[in-house]
């Protein structure tokens, strides 16, 4: 053992991690103020414990022996729990590696399933809002580029909402040619909540499958498969206090998406791959706790979020809140409780992010997937913002570990940071 | 030295990684940025060319992780295209031979990046250039050659003003490239053995002529000898550089059987003139836009050494200010060959850079 470690020396993974100064590369540094829960939120301690306990055990849920049966039981109990939380039957839960895979399976799988292989009609139309997450956006685009789909982007209003009338008009141009409709439950950038029930009903009138990416909504607002009338919902564990790397597609019984991953035939042949019992258990524990605490948490986060909006507006009078304004009575229930998203005219978002990061405050210029090279947000563009306003934007998202001290820490520096970023210009 | 807030430009190569590490070791508060300069970066490097692929960005990020400094990507693709790439194309179209690295230092690294850094509260920009900065009297730093003469990059930095240099940090100037690589390995930086980049970073396949043709179109014209006799044709005068010997596309050899070189390029008539090597020799150089970072602007003749291209030799010369300081006339004490318009003339006092200017004309 000693020899092995010596042999690994400075090049081994253990030594390398040991040398790293900290999880974020910061040397020493102040306690971080984490305002990026929409990117990922800390695991709930109960979920972490449950997952670690399961990680220490052996057993492939597909194996027939005792170890396999034990792991299978963990998976099935977790499936039942998740089904209950999201108003679905256990058989309607398909575990995936996360939100992206579930979105790919829904969009591509439902599209293919609707192409009438045995002489049935071809349905080339795919309808989705222009503000979808890239997992839906790019899956639909891919179908357009490679499978002959006609993708139609549904317009949203200046707050990011899709009007049911817009969807109805789009469908009715040629209802029988529509393969599926995909509209996210809540937007990952600006937090706008779509009228999913109303939209699902419109699609349902024409018996068109309706998928909704509910990754940001799950655990924040009531999300139910049966109650919403949706055909399929995407859920991700790490946005509600579970581990990264696991999620689910909830899909109504009777719908048979064509698989994207082929192999051992797990998950009713819809999604092959060894089931990750530990992650699934962590997912289930987190989902159950998030649901139990949801109502209370939503009130607390909305209050914190309103304080954040108020303090930022006072510190930066020119700041523009993107998405529904929670202080407007008409906007009640139209925005995720933990989301605040601003444009700071005259600033570049990545300069603001860097200056806040240097002060120990973590936020985002958009979805983490596009972080790196700044591109104007397609969400804000679809909402009618110009490229400059889209580039000068920041998202602050709160979650279960957020406190008033976090909000006040941001409020204390945002004025000076915006001032500096403005001087740095464009 | 008191601690500074330093912005380290990290290309993903070994030099900028070690430079950032040294700046951090010196006690500065260092933040890394990788400059995304290509509008649609290729995913991988091909050979030793280019420096703006996603793989390079990842290498830079990993180096910053190991050093333990924050890392960001700054997208300067639009600015780079406007200031460097367009200028590169326009200069060739004018019959000149631009140096895009020099232009990038002048307009991007020590202008766009430096200005943004200063506005954001940084004190200095740190790069992995092989050059030294020396105290040059009150409030002045002076640029000098690297301890590694073969890797010296003072030529492409000589265009910087005293103000720009006063906000620059070049931690590698006292080291050889071999020492830098050894140090990178010691520090556990994965880029320790990464090949050096060469050539023009935005022409990854190295085909400058093809790159220019795609942007300027075919512009065929005659190739003439010094007597004006047409001896061949070409597809665009922008594909040539004064002093160039290969790729002239001439069918018949010269009457005397000796190699021929490009002597002059006239874009207006699309004429490329070729002739023997000795016809390339020049002793008189005119240059404009002088920058004097290492001394006060001279008011009379200045005896110095001049360098006429990157990694070229130096020539003893006399420099006279002209046009009220807006231009320079340079007399070389021995002739130089293949001096191209658009290149910089850099004026040295020993290893010290006094200044630079852009070559506009030459004479025998």
Mutation target to probe the A interface, by most A beta carbons within 10 A, among B64, B120, B193 is B120
- Same domain, yes or no: B272 and B287: no
Q: Closest partner residue to A355 among B57, B66, B120, by Cβ? A: B120
Range B44-51 average pLDDT: 46
My answer on whether B87 and B140 are in the same domain is yes
Smallest Cβ–Cβ distance between B70 and the set A25, A373, A423 belongs to A25
- pLDDT beyond 80 at A117: no
B107 and B51 in one domain?
yes
Q: Do residues B243 and B167 share a domain? A: no
pLDDT above 50 (res B35):
yes
Q: Do B120 and A25 touch (CB under 8 A)?
A: no
- Quickly list H helices, B70-176: 77-80, 86-93, 100-104, 114-119, 154-157, 162-166
* pLDDT of B52: 59
Alpha-helix residue ranges (DSSP H) falling in B200-262: 208-216
pLDDT at A212 over 90: yes
CB contact under 8 A, A374 and B71: no
Question: What is the ipTM score, two decimals?
Answer: 0.84
Domain boundaries, chain A: 22-43+294-424, 46-287
Q: Tell me which residues of A are annotated as active site.
A: 369
Q: In what order do the strands lie in the sheet with A178-182?
A: A93-96, A247-251, A232-236, A210-213, A178-182, A125-129, A150-154
Collapsing DSSP to helix, strand or coil, A124 comes out as coil
Are A25 and B121 a contacting pair at CB < 8 A?
no
Digit-coded pLDDT (tens) for B246-266: 888 887 777 788 899 999 999
CA distance A374 to chain B (A): 7
Give the dihedral of Cα atoms B93, B95, B99, B104; nearest 10 deg: -30
Q: What angle do CA A236, A237, A243 make, to 5 degrees?
A: 135
Give me the residue from A25, A374, A420 closest to B68, CB to CB.
Answer: A25
Q: Cβ separation of B120 and A20 shorter than 8 Å?
A: no
How many pairs of residues across A and B have Cβ atoms under 8 Å apart?
51
- Using a CB cutoff of 8 Å and minimum separation of 24, what contacts does B57-60 make? B57/A372, B57/B12, B58/B12, B59/B12, B59/B13, B59/B190, B59/B191, B59/B194, B60/B10, B60/B11, B60/B12, B60/B16, B60/B17, B60/B32, B60/B34
pLDDT digit string, tens, across residues B187-238? 999 999 988 877 788 988 889 999 999 999 999 999 999 999 999 999 999 9
Q: Residue A148 and residue A126: Cα distance in Å, rounded? A: 10
- Chain A residues whose CB is inside 8 A of the B65 CB are 20, 25
Question: Is residue B111 domain-shared with residue B18, that is, in the same domain?
Answer: yes
Of A358, A373, A425, the CB nearest to B73: A373
CA distance A333 to chain B (A): 36
| One domain for residues B270 and B286 | no
Q: Which residue of A has its CA nearest to B7?
A: A354
What CATH code is carried by the domain that includes residue B290? 2.40.30.10
What pLDDT was estimated at residue A21?
A: 44
pLDDT value at residue B82: 95
Q: Is the pTM of this model over 0.80?
A: yes
On whether both B156 and B64 belong to a single domain, the answer is: yes
Say whether both B88 and B236 belong to one domain.
no
Q: How many CB atoms lie within 10 A of CB B138?
A: 5
SS3 category, A59: coil
Specify if B63 maps to a domain: yes
What is the distance between the terminal CA atoms of chain A, rounded to a whole angstrom? Answer: 56
Alpha helix stretches (DSSP H) within A162-240: 164-172, 196-205, 225-228
DSSP-derived 3-state class of residue B241 = coil
- In which band, very low, low, confident or very high, does the pLDDT at A84 lie, cut at 50, 70 and 90? very high
* Fold (CATH) for A22-43+294-424: 3.90.1150
The answer to whether residue B71 neighbours chain A at the CB level (below 8 Å) is yes
The answer to whether residue B288 sits within a structural domain is yes
Cα distances (Å, whole numbers) of residue A216 to A120, B221, B345: 36, 63, 59
User: How deeply is B35 buried, as exposed, middle or buried, from its count of CB atoms within 10 A (0-12, 13-18, 19+)?
Assistant: buried
Question: Chain A partners of B31 at a C-beta cutoff of 8 Å?
Answer: 354, 358
> Is B121 within 8 Å of A420 when comparing Cβ atoms?
yes
Residue in chain A closest to B118 (alpha carbons) equals A424
- The pLDDT score that the predictor gives to residue A24 is 45
Q: Is B310 on the interface with A (CB under 8 A)?
A: no
Mean pLDDT of A24-48: 80
Exactly one of B104, B126, B295, B319 is catalytic; which is it?
B104
Tell me if B155 is assigned to some domain.
yes
Question: CA–CA separation, A73 vs A69, rounded Å?
Answer: 6
Contact B31 A421 (CB under 8 A): no
Q: What does the pLDDT read at residue B45?
A: 47
Active-site annotation holds for B295:
no
Asked if B65 lies within 8 A of A16 by C-beta distance, the reply is: no
Q: Provide the pLDDT confidence category of residue B46 given band limits of 50, 70 and 90.
A: very low
B208 falls within a domain: no
Q: Are the Cβ atoms of A420 and B119 closer than 8 angstroms? A: yes
Contact A16 B188 (CB under 8 A): yes
Chain A residue numbers touching B70 (CB-CB < 8 A) = 24-26, 354, 357-358
Judge whether B53 is closer than 8 Å to chain A, CB to CB. Answer: no
Residue A221 has pLDDT above 90, yes or no: yes
From CA B364, how far away is CA B332, in angstroms rounded? Answer: 10
What is the per-residue pLDDT for A131?
A: 97
Which secondary-structure segment (H or E) carries A129?
strand A125-129
Q: DSSP strand E in A350-410: where?
A: 361-362, 393-397
Contact yes or no for B68 and A374 at CB 8 A: no
Query: What residues in chain A have their Cβ under 8 A from chain B's Cβ atoms?
Result: 10, 16, 19-22, 24-27, 350-351, 353-355, 357-358, 372-374, 420-421, 423-425
Look up the CATH number of the domain holding residue B259: 2.30.30.280
What would the mean pLDDT of A155-174 be, rounded to a whole number? 97
Which CATH number fits the domain that encloses residue B10? Answer: 3.40.50.620
For residue B230, is it within any domain?
yes
pLDDT at A123 over 50: yes
Number of other residues whose CB lies within 10 A of the CB of residue A54: 21
CB-CB contact of B200 with B48 (8 Å): no
Residues 6+ positions from A130 with CB-CB distance below 8 Å: A153, A154, A155, A156, A378, A382
Chosen for mutation from A28, A354, A365, A416 (greatest number of chain B CBs closer than 10 Å) is: A354
Angle at which helix A404-424 crosses helix A277-315, to 10 degrees, equals 60
Query: Judging by DSSP bridges, how do beta strands B221-224 and B271-275 pair with one another?
Result: parallel
CA–CA min distance B85, chain A (Å)? 20
Within 10 angstroms of residue A245's Cβ, the number of other Cβ atoms is: 15
Which residues are CB-neighbours of A236 under 8 A, at least 6 positions away? A98, A99, A102, A215, A218, A246, A247
pLDDT value of residue A23: 42
Nearest chain B residue to A12 by CA distance is B188
| Count of CB atoms situated within 10 Å of the CB of A22 | 11
User: Which tokens hold the place of B296?
Assistant: 């006060």
Per-residue pLDDT band at B43 (split at 50, 70, 90): low
Q: Domain of residue B314: give its range.
A: 281-363
| HSE (side-chain half, CA atoms, 13 Å) at B114 | 21
Instruction: Assign A64 to helix, strand or coil.
Output: coil
* B141–A contact, CB cutoff 8 A: no
Q: Which residue of A has its CA nearest to B58?
A: A372
Pairwise CA distance, residues A228 & A193, whole Å: 13
What are the angstrom distances between the C-alpha of B219 and each of A1, A49, B5, B89, B237? 71, 72, 50, 14, 7
Q: Which residue has the tokens 């639909």?
A: A140
- Whether B342 and B89 have beta carbons less than 8 Å apart is answered as no
What's the rounded Cα separation, in Å, for the pair B19 and A116? 61
What percent of chain A has a predicted confidence (pLDDT) above 90?
A: 84
- Tell me the pLDDT tens digit for each residue of A386-419: 988 888 999 999 999 999 999 999 999 999 999 9
Interchain proximity B75–A425, CB inside 8 Å: no
In a domain, B26, yes or no: yes
Determine whether domain A46-287 maps to CATH 3.20.20.80: no
CA angle (A112 as vertex; A196, A177 as ends), nearest 5: 65
Q: Quote the mean pLDDT of chain B.
A: 92
Annotated active-site residue B101? The verdict is no
Interface contact flag, A373 B75, Cβ < 8 Å: yes
Q: Would strands A178-182 and A125-129 be described as parallel, antiparallel, or unpaired?
A: parallel
A339-343: strand order across its sheet:
A320-321, A339-343, A393-397
Provide the domain count of chain B: 3
Residue that finishes a domain, picked among B261, B277, B293: B277
Q: pLDDT by residue (tens digit) across A245-301?
A: 999 999 999 999 999 999 999 999 999 999 999 999 999 999 999 999 999 999 999
pLDDT at B242 over 90: yes
Higher-confidence residue of B140 and B23: namely: B23
Task: Kindly state the helix (H) or strand (E) to which residue B145 belongs, with its residue range.
Answer: strand B141-145
pLDDT computed for residue A372 by the predictor: 52
Q: Which residues pair with A40 in a beta bridge?
A: none
**How high is the pLDDT of residue A389?**
87
Q: How far away is chain B from the Cα of A418, in angstroms, using its nearest Cα?
A: 10
Clarify whether residues B330 and B231 are in a common domain. no
List the helix and strand counts (H, then E) for chain B: 10, 17
Residues of chain B found within 8 Å of residue A13, distances taken between Cβ atoms = none
**Cα of A181 to nearest chain B Cα, Å:** 32
What CA–CA distance (Å, rounded) separates A117 from A106?
Answer: 18
How far is the CA of B263 from the CAs of B81, B208, B266, B276, B279, in angstroms?
30, 20, 10, 8, 7
**3-class DSSP assignment, residue A29:** coil
| Residues B73, B166 within the same domain | yes
């Amino acid at each position: 053992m000693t020899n092995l470690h010596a042999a690994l020396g400075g090049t081994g993974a253990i030594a390398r991690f040991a040398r790293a100064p900290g999880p974020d590369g910061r040397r020493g540094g102040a306690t971080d103020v984490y305002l990026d829960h929409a990117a990922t939120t800390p695991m709930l301690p109960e979920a972490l414990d449950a997952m670690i306990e399961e990680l220490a055990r052996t057993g492939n849920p597909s194996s027939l022996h005792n170890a396999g049966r034990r792991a299978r039981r963990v998976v099935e109990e977790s499936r039942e729990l998740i089904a209950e939380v999201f108003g679905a039957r256990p058989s309607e839960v398909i575990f995936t590696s996360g939100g992206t895979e579930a979105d790919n399976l829904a969009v591509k799988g439902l599209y293919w399933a609707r192409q009438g292989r045995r002489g049935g009609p071809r349905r080339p139309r795919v309808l989705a809002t222009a503000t979808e997450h890239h997992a839906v956006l790019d899956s639909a685009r891919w179908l357009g580029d490679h499978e002959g789909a006609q993708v139609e982007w549904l317009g949203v209003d200046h707050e990011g909402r899709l009007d049911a009338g817009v969807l109805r008009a789009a469908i009715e141009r040629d209802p029988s040619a529509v393969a599926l409709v995909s509209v996210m439950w809540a937007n990952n950038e600006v937090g706008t909540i779509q009228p999913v029930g109303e939209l699902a009903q419109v699609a349902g009138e024409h018996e068109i499958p309706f998928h909704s990416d509910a990754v940001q909504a799950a655990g924040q607002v009531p999300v139910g498969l049966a109650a919403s009338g949706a055909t399929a919902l995407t859920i991700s564990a790490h946005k509600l206090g579970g581990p990264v790397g696991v999620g689910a597609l909830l899909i109504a019984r009777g719908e048979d998406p064509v698989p994207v991953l082929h192999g051992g035939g797990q998950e009713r042949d819809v999604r092959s791959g060894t089931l990750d019992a530990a992650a699934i258990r962590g997912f289930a524990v987190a989902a159950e706790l998030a649901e139990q605490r949801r109502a209370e948490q939503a009130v607390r986060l909305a209050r914190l979020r309103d304080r954040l909006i108020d303090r930022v507006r006072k510190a930066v009078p020119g700041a523009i809140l993107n998405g529904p304004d929670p202080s407007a009575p008409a906007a009640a229930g139209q925005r995720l409780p933990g989301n605040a998203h601003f444009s700071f005219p005259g600033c570049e978002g990545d300069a603001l992010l860097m200056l806040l990061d240097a002060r120990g405050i973590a936020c985002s210029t958009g979805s983490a997937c596009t972080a790196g090279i700044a591109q104007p947000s397609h969400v804000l563009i679809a909402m009618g913002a110009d490229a400059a306003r889209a580039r000068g934007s920041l998202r602050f998202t709160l979650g279960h570990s957020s406190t008033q001290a976090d909000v006040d820490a941001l409020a204390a520096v945002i004025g000076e940071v915006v001032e500096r970023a403005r001087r740095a210009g464009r | 030295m008191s601690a500074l807030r330093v912005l380290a430009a990290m290309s993903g190569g070994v030099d900028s990684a070690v430079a950032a590490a040294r700046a951090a070791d010196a006690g500065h508060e260092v933040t890394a940025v990788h400059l995304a300069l290509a509008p649609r970066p290729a995913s991988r490097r091909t050979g030793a060319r280019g420096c703006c692929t996603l793989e390079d960005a990842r290498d830079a990020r990993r180096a910053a992780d190991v050093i333990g400094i924050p890392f960001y990507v700054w997208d300067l693709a639009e600015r780079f295209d406007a200031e460097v790439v367009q200028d590169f194309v326009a200069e060739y179209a004018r019959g000149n031979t631009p140096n895009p690295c020099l232009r990038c230092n002048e307009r991007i690294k020590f202008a766009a990046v430096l200005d943004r850094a200063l506005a954001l509260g940084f004190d200095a920009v740190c790069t992995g250039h092989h050059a030294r900065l020396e105290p040059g009297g009150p409030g002045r730093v002076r640029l000098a050659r690297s301890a590694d003469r073969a890797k010296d990059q003072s030529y492409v930095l000589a265009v910087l003003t005293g103000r720009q240099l006063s906000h620059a940090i070049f931690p590698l100037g006292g080291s050889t490239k071999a020492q830098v690589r050894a140090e990178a390995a010691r520090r556990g930086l994965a880029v320790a053995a990464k090949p050096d980049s060469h050539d023009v970073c935005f022409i990854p396949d190295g085909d400058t002529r093809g790159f220019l043709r795609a942007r300027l179109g075919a512009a065929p014209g005659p190739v003439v000898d010094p007597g004006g006799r047409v001896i061949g044709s070409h597809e665009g005068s922008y594909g040539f550089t004064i002093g160039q010997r290969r790729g002239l596309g001439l069918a018949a050899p010269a009457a005397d059987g000796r190699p021929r070189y490009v002597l002059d390029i006239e874009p207006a008539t699309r004429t490329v003139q070729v002739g023997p090597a000795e016809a390339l020799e020049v002793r008189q150089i005119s240059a404009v836009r002088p920058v004097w970072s290492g001394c006060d602007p001279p008011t009379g003749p200045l005896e110095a050494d001049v360098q006429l291209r990157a990694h070229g030799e130096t020539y003893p010369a006399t420099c006279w200010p002209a046009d009220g300081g807006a231009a320079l006339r340079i007399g070389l004490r021995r002739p130089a060959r293949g001096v191209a318009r658009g290149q910089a003339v850099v004026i040295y006092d020993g290893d010290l850079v006094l200044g630079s200017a852009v070559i506009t004309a030459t004479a025998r």
